[in-house]
Structure formats: C-alpha cells, structure tokens
Structure 1
Amino acid sequence: MYKASDIPTKFESLPNEILLECFMYFNACQLFYSFDRLNYRLSCLIQNSTLHVDFSHVRKSIFDRFCKIILKNPQTKDRIYSLHLSNENSHGLIQKFLSSFSTTEFSHLQSLKLTIVGDKTIQKLNSIISSMKELSSLHLNCTGASTHDILSSLTTSKLKTLSATSLNRFPLHIDARFSITNLTISCCDLHHVCHLLASLPLLNYLNVKRSSGGPESTPYMGLNEKFCAVNLIVMVIDDFQYDFNEIEDFFNGLPNLKSLTICSADRPTMIDARQWERLITSSLPHLETFRFRFACDLWSTDDEILELFQQFQSDFWLKTHHWYTEYLSTGNDKWICTIPCPSYRCDLTAYYDAHKCTMFSRAANQSRDSMPNERVFQKNREFHFYDIVSLDIMNAETTTKHSLGINHIKILKDTVNLSGVCHLFILSDCKLDSASVLLRILQATPKLSSIQIDPSALLPLLVDDQLCKYLNRMIKRLDLYMSSYIPAQIFRDPNELKRFSKAFSNIEVLHCNTNQKTEFKYLLDNLQKLISLTALIKTLETRQTISEWLEKELAKQNANYDIKYEERNRMCLVTVNVWMG
C-alpha cells in the first residue's frame, strides 16, 4: 500500500518546462522555503530556475536562511535577475545584506529596487551598482543626495526603467541617458521636468507624483530649455501645482502624446474647458486618453461650478473624444473630474454626516438643457469610485461629533467599490456605533489586511467574538496611532491586553504605544507571527536601565533593532523598531 507521501501531486505531474515557468512567479525566498529538498526533482529544478528575490516584508529567519543558501552555493547569485532590498518594517536589512556579499557577485542582475536606503550603505551600494552591466530596471526610494550618488555610479547602457524619489540633477552616464524609456519621479518642478525631457530622447512614459515650485525652486517664467519629446506617449502628473498659462509652452513639446493624466488643486485656471480644447487641438493632436481631477474654488456656489462643468459637455468632449466628466462635492472639497476619477484609483476619503454629497454626471445621449440640479448618475454605472486601495473615514463636522453607524456603511457600499480596499484608516474623530459597524466594513472588504485606528475606538469592540474572528483572519498590519507626544495608556488592564493578543495573534506588523515594560514583553512573547514591531514606551526608569533590559529581551528574539531615547519631564520615552520573525 502506498503512503500518502509517495503519491505524486498534480503539481508534480507537470512537465519540467511548465514548473520552471511557474517558479518565475515565486519570490525566491518562498520558493526555496517551500520546495527545496522536498524531493530530488524539485531541488534540481530550483537549482536551474531564474530567481526573483524580494526582501520586502520578509521574516528575519527566512532572510537569514536564504542568505546562507547563497553563501553555501555561490552559483545561486548568477541566477538572481531581480532583487528588492527594503528597510521598511525590516530595520537594517539592506546593511545586513550588503555586509554579507562582495560588490561583484550579482553581475547578471537586471532589476534592482531599494526602499528606504540609509546613508551608511550608500558607499557600498555605489560599488555594487557600478558593476551591474546588465541592469535594465532601477527603483530608488532614498534622499535626493543619496539618489544622486547612486546614479553617478551607474554606467550601464541597458537601463530602460528608472524610478527615483527626486531627480533635480541628472548625473547618469551618457549611455544610460540614451536608453531610458520609462521614468517615475516622486517630486520634480516643471523646469526639471523640461530638462529631463530634453535629456532623455527615448522616453515614452513619464510619471511625476508631484510637480510644484516649492520654496527652493525657481519661479516658473516659461521654458528655459527647449525640447521636443517626440517619443513620449504617456504622461501622468498626480499633483500639478501650476496655472494653465504656465503650461501651454510645455505641452507644445509633446506632439505625439496619446495619454495624459493630470490632477491639480487650488488652481482655478485649470478648469477651463475651452482653453483645454484649444490646447489639445493645436498641440496634442494624437491625444486619445485624457483623465483629470481639478479642484474648484471652495467658496463657489453649485450654480457657478455647474456652469464650469457644463463647458465640458460640448461635442468636442462627448462625441469626438468620449471623455465624460462629473462634479463631486463634499463639505470640504469640490472637484470636476473625468469618469472614473483618476486621483481615487488609490485613495478615497469618506466624510459622513457632513454636507450632502452632490454628484453630476451625464451620459452621451443626455441633453445639456435637461440636466437637473440634483444627483444624476450615469446609466449602467454601479459605483462612482472604482479600484480603491486605501480608504480613510472621518467626521467632517468640526463642532459636532457623530457616530459612524450601519446606515453610513450602506451608503458607502452603494457609492464605492470596496472589493479592492487593502488599507483602512479610521480617524480619531470617528466614533463607531458598535462592533457591528467595523464587522460590516470587514465583510465588505475581502482584501483588507491593514488598519490604522485609535486604540480607544478599537479595544472596547474586542468583546465581540465574531468581529475578533474576522480581525484574526484578515488583519496583518495594525497601527494604533503612534504619537510624538507623551503616549497615553492603551491597555486599561491585563484582560484587555490578552483579548487584544488573541484577536490579533496573526498580526505581522504592529505600531503601538506601551506604558509598561511588561506590556512590551507580553506582545513580543505572544504575537508569534510578528515580523516588525514599532513601539513607543513611556517609563520612569533611567535610560541605562531600560536600555539594558531591552537589549536583553531583544537578544532572545534574534532580532535587528534600533532604539531611540528622549528624556522629558523626568520621564524616558523610548522608540523601538524591531525586525524579527
């Protein structure tokens, strides 16, 4: 009789070529952890597969194990084509990795991503990057000076994709400039955008998260560098802080642009349909996709904004290009945007019990004269907001505190597609009616894994067993409001601490305050799946006493950690960042 372990699974019955194709979609850390040494065949296949290594959100034990595999089998490094090193929720990971390997051991690397790079590792990174002749994709999340230093070391002529926090100067080797086709920058003023377009002749995709003058930038007085970006096809600017008259010359240099996404706040001149029609007709003849979100003057009346909105209802917008718009209004915001609203593909703020939310939209077959001054929803549209990843819920009233109830959740579900929400932020001014309110949110957001919430709003709800089951199964990241001031007590008694640890026994990332060393130790000992813990501890003990105790406890966890101390009013505030697991 066969044992269960002797019977091959359907996965193992696949041919080698298919398995190797499947392995390309695995993070190499998990690939080795799951399949290496499971049997001879799989081990041989893993030894010959292309490896994509992602060290973001990884347990320290898995990181250590994979580094040992690389050290034991040097040929493994030659099969690593993609590498992501991150210090986010894993303190000291980049430095630890770079201290284990020499600078010339990843000569076949094609994609490198660095998240939250510390100044101590820049010199080591420069040596490594200068040896990467095959690098085609580079993503940098670090300070501007660090970005400049790293890019100065880059000599490859194969770089196609570059993402950086800032790029005010362009220190790339001349070969790299003539190869880049895809560029993403977190912040860059319009002068430097022009410089980049002039310096990167093959660029076909540009994404600028924020473009504004800023206090240190030169005021925009027109183009100081002529360019003609004939290859640029797609441009995205999420936060554009210039007036319309400042951008006309800029768009004259983009003759072949096919897709434009632009969002702007506090710039009323951007809401001029006739100006845009003239600009698109004269300078952007190939534009096929135009998505925008323009904030209106907060003090404008609905009639005034409706008049602006109706300018976007001409045949040019609706019949020629099929670009449909809607007007959205809450107590704090008034916008005109295309459908779907581009700036809310990632984030959405929901106000409850504020001024009535008013929406205007019009289908192509509706008459402009027949549009009423009330809610008008385009036919066959189930939601107004799609693809929401992050949802913030707040009370928009400044004088009256309202509780968030079941009725608000129903309205939210009718308006917003919640199926893709991964992160929920419930602000401190938002009081939940009951545990059922949070339960309804969890039931409507199957992908939710991260919550940021005031502990005073969350902890009293943990007496509800059904809610606790959902929290335990779904939530992997929890932020209980870190404060830069003296932290308030979170857990009222040991029973509340126990209920919390039981409800969140599967938590992997936790940010919280603790008033006692015993609370900190209890969390370390009982949250067995923790990868990252950031805690603010308030104590009357001396810095030396608390330091010795912390180092002793963290040594038991085999953890990387960083401890910062601040003495205030005979009290010691200790911030601890721990990477473990």
Structure 2
Amino acid sequence: MTDNQTVTRFELLPNEILIQCFQHLDALQIFSSFDQLNSRFNELIRCIPLHLHFRNYPHSLCQRFCDEMLRNPSMRESIHSLHLSNKDEGMWIEFFLEMFAFETFPSLQSLTLIDAYHFNHSALLQMLWSVPSLQCFHLKDSNIDLNEIFSQVRRFPIRTLTLPRLSRYVTLLQYFVPLTSLTIETCNRYQLLQVLNAIHTLKYLQINNLSREAEESDRYDLEKFTHSLQHLVINNSHYRFNDIEMIIVHTPDLRRLTLFVDFQFNWFSSDEWNHWFHTYLPRLQIFKFCFRFHRSKYPSNVEEDLTAFQNSLQPYIRHHSIECFLSSCRGMIYTVPYAFSTFKFHAGMRRFHHTTIDGENTFGRVRQLKICTNEVERYDYHHYRRFSHREPRRSPFNEEYIFEPLRPDDIQCIIENFSHVKHLDVSKFSRQQNPSVLMEILRRTPHVTSLTMTSDTLISSLENTELRQYLQRMIRKLTITNSLYSSYENNIQWQLCVVFTNLQQLTCTFREERYVTYFLTHLPKLIRAQFTVTEWNQSSQALSLYASLRQSGMYIHMEYSENRPEQITCWINRETTDN
C-alpha cells in the first residue's frame, strides 16, 4: 500500500454517505448486516426509508425481521416499499397479514402483491383506502374482480400501476388521475387503444402479452387521437408488424420503443423501414426489439440481409448491434444487448453474430432460458458443407453451427454468456436427449436454482451420478410439467425426496392424495407446493388431509382452486413446524 492510499472503515463514514449506501440495499440486507453492530447503526437503520421484500431470503430470516417489527412498531413508519408474493419462499401474503394490517404502515408509497388469488375485491379496496400515501401499486397474478375495484375508485393518487388484465370498463382508469406509468400483463389491441384514449397523462406503457382475442372490426372505429406517450414496451405479441403499426400511429411523440413480436424477415426493404419511422415515429430515439419469424429456407445472402437491416435501423438502435439465430424454417433477430428477460432456443438453429461486438453482456438480462430439442430439424449434409467451406468472405458476422442431436460439445456454441439465468426450462427436451447435455447446460448457467422438466427428463437425470449431485446441491424450485404416472411411480417419488433435499418449492401432478403427505413430510426444506391430484375428492378428503398433517406437528396453510378442484396449494411454516 502506498502512502497516498487510505483505507476508511465503513462504520466511520458520516451518516450522509451511509444513507446513500443504504439506498442500494433492501431492508433485510440492511438489518441482517448492520443491526446490533453498534448503537449508532441501530438508531440509523431504524429511521431511514426501507424497501421490504422477501424474495430469495430464507423464511427464518424473514420471520425474524417481522418479529422485530412487532416488538418495535415504530419501524413500520420507515417502510416505504412493500413486496409480498405467494410465489416466494420467504414470506407469504396470508402469513404477513396475520401479523400486520396495511394501515399500520403510514409511510407506505409502493405496494406489490403477487399470486393474490384469494384476495376479494372488498378486502383489496379497503386496503387501498387505508394507505392514502400509496403512489405505486402492482397487482400480479390475481383473479380479483377489477370492475368492482375501478367502479368504486375515486381520485386515487397512484402514479404507477401494474394490473394482471384490464377491467371491462377501461375508461374507469381515468380516476387514477396522475397515472404516468401503466403495466398490463395481458390485453388485446383494442383495449390498448382504449387505454391511450382514456388516460392522457401516461408516459410509460408496458404490455407483457398482447393477445389476439376475438375483436369486432367496428370496435376500432375510435375517434382519431394522438397521445403523448414516450415509452412503449410490448414483451410478447402474436400480432404481425402491420398490426403494431395501427397502435403506433397514435403515438407520434414516442422516444423509446421495445418490441417482441412476430415478424417476416424480408418484409420491409431499407427504404420501407426508413419511411415507416419517419412517418409514424419522427421523435424516436431508441429502438430495441426481438423479432421471431418463420422461413422456408436459408437465403444465400443472409449476411448481406442482416447488414442492410442493421444499417437501415442504425439511427434508432444507436450504439447497439443486431444478431440472429436461424434454422431452415424458424429464427429470431434481436438488438444486442438482448433486451428481454426470457430466451427460447430451438436445437438446429445457427447463430450469426457480429465479430466486432463484445458478447459478454449480450444476454445479461436473461433470467429464464428455455431450450427445445424435441423439434429438431434434419439438414442436408452437403448443404452445410457447401455453406461452411466456401471461400472466405469479408463479412462482419460469425456463423456457429448446431447439429442434431445435441451433444455436450455443442452447448458452448449456444449457451454462451447466460450466466445470469435463474430459471431453466427443459420441458421440451426429447426423450433421447443424453443427460450429459443437461449437465453441460447447468455448468454454463451456474446461478440456476429453478428447473422445469418432464418426468422422463427427471428420471434420466436421476440416473446420472454427476447430474444427481448437482441437482441436490443447487435446485431450490422444481416444476414437473407432466404427470408422474408410470410403473415406477413409487420409485420416482422416493428418489425425488432423496435427491432434492434442498428443494423449497415443488409443482407436480400425480394420481393419489397419499403423495401429498409423502412429499410434504419427506422433503425437509419444502415450503411451498402446488399439487394436482387427479384421483381425489376435494370435499371429502381435504379436511382429513389437513387434520392428519396438523396432527403430525406440521404447521401448514392449504388452499384450493375453485376453477380446478383437483389442485391444492400448500405453504409450510418450517420455523414453527421444525420447532
């Protein structure tokens, strides 16, 4: 260490700097790291704005923090943001509301509720009225009757709103007077236009799924209008690109546009692209996209097409580049870095990527990766040989070939720089796929803790020693997409409990109610489970199941789906059960 270097102990920093540092941490991070460090920190962390969520934290830590808030009610005055989810293992909505009422958080400005299927509209409305300071409200994965909510809402001060779907009476959203940001999980094009026509204050609009519901053609006869929207995001749409044009014609002030839509690769020439942007989006500054498309064969000049496509969009993609995956009948083209949280790869695709672009952060935003190998296409060997061994060309694109079936060595070509992926979906793996391929994928996605797979893939995985050890060490959440029916059903459930000793969440289907008890009692860290039991009578067996589990010393909360009586969801309070 040189004489000019200085080391400052964190606890010696002034409060002003500490408060700035704490702004980058959530409440549990702050309290688990600095509580009881000294009297100064104890006082400081109890009087700064706190953002409380329970994602990716053990239930024991979440419960200790809640106990601290019960002992010191003044702590709740510092909670400015609260995130509750029945999909997380840390703390569920029902358990939290057994301890606290929303009105006991007088400074609450942002509230998120996820998987709140058992909230009724009156309880939600009462909650909204009890938090007058609320500015951001996010409701996701809920079946609450929004018509009842919106019909009784009068001048809420909410500025940022997230909804699972739209009310039948979209115009009632105008009662959220200062609304500037709106995110909708699912809506159709007509509803989107209604939103723009009704809420003139919007600056940001995000649609996660723009559906193609049946729409009457005359419903599009809205009055001509323009909107001052500045940022539009459509994360998934089966509309064609000319359908999207019917939306953006109303948003000439758009500065940022992010699209994930179906597209036909050679549909527009460069001149047509330029005309499209100059006519409808004269103020556009940033354009991010992913276009999925189908084609009958490779074009002989694919590199030239990609280069021309990129050049025509360069004023809007700024310093970004584009790259693509292509097969003989499908493909996708996208801006780099990839702008979306999910990525789906089909075996048989070839990757074209720009040689001058550092690909380290290309897929840095991807958290969910899906790999399909059961729809592999067969290609003509001579076509590949001719395509890959012709004379060197001056092209800025690299070509990477993936042949079927997938082998472990192929994975390095497709699973590159996906290090931030948390969830891996291999439910479309072919039955013949070697387990070593899955092992290689997991090596290249070291932060995966959540898996979706079929029972066939599960069985083959459990037969591979290295893969079995990896699953035991890393996987916390498992979804089995098909039934566990097989002649080896008893053996599967036994192996699953032996291997997945760290499993905290499980979703699966089986025939008999007895497997509910078996999994709940033999998976020692299981906290949340969603079972579909095909051969049981909910009305006659549910109460006896609950009683037997409580009698065994398990503190459990069980809920049933009204629409799917064969489905049961269980939450286990391990803190209480294990004690």
Same fold (TM over 0.5): yes
Shift of 1:282: 2.7
Give, in whole Å, the separation in 2 of the partners of 1:148 and 1:56. Answer: 30
For 1:226-375, what aligned pairs fall within 5 Å after superposition? Answer: 226-230=224-228, 232-242=229-239, 248=245, 250-265=247-262, 271=268, 273-299=270-296, 302=299, 312=309, 316-318=312-314, 325-326=322-323, 328-340=325-337, 342=339, 345-352=340-347, 354=348, 357-359=349-351
Contact 1:317 1:324 in 2 (8 A): no
Q: Secondary structure at the match of 1:418?
A: coil
CA distance in 2 between counterparts of 1:542 and 1:286 reads 58
**Matched residues in 2 for 1:532 and 1:382: separation?**
37
Return closer, same or farther for 1:548/1:38 CA change in 2, 3 Å cut-off: farther
Greater mean alpha carbon deviation, residues 517-526 or residues 190-199: 517-526
Q: Is the 8 A contact 2:252 2:281 kept in 1?
A: yes
Aligned amino acid, residue 473 of structure 2: R
| Structure 2: distance between partners of 1:295 and 1:160 | 33
Aligned counterparts of 1:100 and 1:529: Cα–Cα separation in 2: 23
Between 52-61 and 444-453, the greater mean CA deviation after superposition:
52-61
Amino acid at match of 1:229: H
Instruction: Name 1:364's counterpart in structure 2.
Output: none
| Number of the residue aligned with 1:471 | 471
What is the rounded CA distance, in whole Å, between the counterparts of 1:196 and 1:541 in structure 2? 44
Equivalent pairs counted in the alignment come to: 539
Report the Cα distance in structure 2 between the residues aligned to 1:159 and 1:473, rounded to whole angstroms: 43
| 3-state secondary structure, aligned to 2:279 | helix
The DSSP-based 3-state class of the residue aligned with 1:548 is: helix
SS at match of 1:166: coil
Deviation of 1:395 (Å): 2.1
| Residue 78 (str. 1) matches residue 77 (str. 2) | yes
2:99 and 2:477 mapped to 1: Cα distance? 29
Deviates more, 1:401-410 or 1:273-282: 401-410
Whole-angstrom CA distance in 1 between matches of 2:535 and 2:280? 64
CA distance in 2, matches of 1:516, 1:42: 54
Give the whole-Å Cα distance in 2 for the aligned partners of 1:469 and 1:546: 35
For 2:333 and 2:377, locate their aligned partners in 1 and report how far apart those are by CA, in whole Å: 28
Give 1:127 deviation, angstroms.
Answer: 1.2
Counterparts of 1:468 and 1:511, CA distance in 2:
19
State the 1:240 CA deviation.
4.1
d(CA) in 2 for partners of 1:482 and 1:565? Answer: 21
Residue 450 of structure 1: how far off its partner (Å): 0.8
What is the deviation of 1:573?
Answer: 6.5
Give the whole-Å Cα distance in 2 for the aligned partners of 1:490 and 1:153: 55
Whichever residue aligns with residue 471 of structure 2, its letter is L
Quick check: 239-248 or 79-88, which moved more? 239-248
In the alignment, which residue of structure 2 is the partner of 1:115?
Answer: 114
> Is the contact made by 2:62 and 2:90 (CA closer than 8 Å) also made in structure 1?
no
Shift of residue 126, structure 1, vs aligned partner: 0.6
Structure 2 SS opposite 1:108: coil
Equivalent residue for 1:511, pick from 507, 512, 524: 507
User: What CA distance in whole angstroms lies between the structure 1 residues aligned with 2:143 and 2:255?
Assistant: 31
| 8 A Cα contact 1:213 1:220, kept in partner | no
| Separation (CA, whole Å) in 1 of partners of 2:480 and 2:317 | 47
Q: 1:392 to 1:204 in 2, by over 3 A?
A: same
1:180 alignment partner in structure 2: 179
What does 1:550-565 correspond to in 2, within 5 Å? 550-554=546-550, 556-562=553-559
Aligned AA for 1:348? F
Residues 287, 16 of structure 1: alpha-carbon distance in 2 compared, 3 angstrom cutoff: closer
TM-score by length of 2: 0.77
Gaps of 5+ in 2: 1-7, 379-402, 575-579
Determine helix, strand or coil for the equivalent of 1:421: coil
2:232 and 2:213 map into 1 onto residues whose CA distance is 21
1:48-82: CA deviations, max 9, x gaps? 23232224566665555555544443333322211
- Alignment partners' CA distance in 2, 1:549 and 1:436: 40
User: Within 5 Å, which residues of 2 pair with 1:147-162?
Assistant: 147-152=146-151, 154-155=153-154, 158-162=157-161
SS at match of 2:531: strand
Change (3 A) 1:403 1:304: closer
**CA-to-partner distance for each residue in 1:390-435, whole Å, 9 max, x for gaps?**
222222447999764212323324xx32212211111254247655
Change (3 A) 1:220 1:236: farther
CA gap of 1:267–1:432, structure 2 versus 1, over 3 A, is closer
TM-align CA RMSD: 4.3
How does 1:65-214 map onto structure 2 within 5 Å? 65-88=64-87, 93-98=92-97, 100-102=99-101, 104-143=103-142, 146-152=145-151, 154-155=153-154, 158-168=157-167, 169-170=169-170, 176-177=176-177, 179-214=178-213
Q: Does the 8 Å contact 1:243/1:269 carry over to 2?
A: no
Structure-to-structure mapping, 1:2-41, within 5 angstroms: 16-28=15-27, 36=35, 40-41=39-40
Deviation by residue 1:536-578 (Cα, 9 ceiling, x = unmatched): 45778997467524432245221212257999xxxx9674533
Give distance in 2, aligned partners of 1:333 and 1:194: 31
- Partner of residue 452, structure 2: 452
How much does 1:224 deviate? 0.9
The letter of the residue matching 2:373 is N
How much has 1:458 moved relative to structure 2?
3.0
Corresponding residue for residue 367 of structure 1: none
The one-letter code matched in structure 2 to 1:159 is I
Q: SS state of the match for residue 238, structure 1?
A: strand
Match of 1:553, SS state, is helix
SS at match of 1:440: helix
- 5+ residue gaps, structure 1: 1-8, 362-376
Cα 1:132–1:502 shift into 2, 3 Å: same
Distance in 2, matches of 1:249 and 1:438, equals 43
Q: Which structure 2 residues correspond to residues 48-67 of structure 1 after superposition, within 5 A?
A: 48-56=47-55, 65-67=64-66
Is residue 394 of structure 1 aligned with residue 391 of structure 2?
A: no
Secondary structure of the residue aligned to 2:419 is coil
**C-alpha separation in 2, matches of 1:191 and 1:299:** 32
Residue 214 of structure 1, CA deviation? 1.0
Aligned pairs for 1:478-497 within 5 A: 478-483=478-483, 487-488=485-486, 492-493=490-491
Partner of 2:419: 419
- In the alignment, which of 404, 408, 411 is matched to residue 406 of structure 1? 408
Q: Distance in 2 between matches of 1:250 and 1:176?
A: 23
User: What TM-score do you get using the length of structure 1 for normalisation?
Assistant: 0.77
Contact 2:89–2:504 under 8 Å retained in 1: no
Contact 1:110–1:135 (Cα < 8 Å) also in 2? yes
Give, in whole Å, the separation in 2 of the partners of 1:36 and 1:497. Answer: 42
| SS of residue in 1 equivalent to 2:103 | coil
- Please give the alpha-carbon distance, in whole angstroms, between the structure 2 residues aligned to 1:41 and 1:384: 40
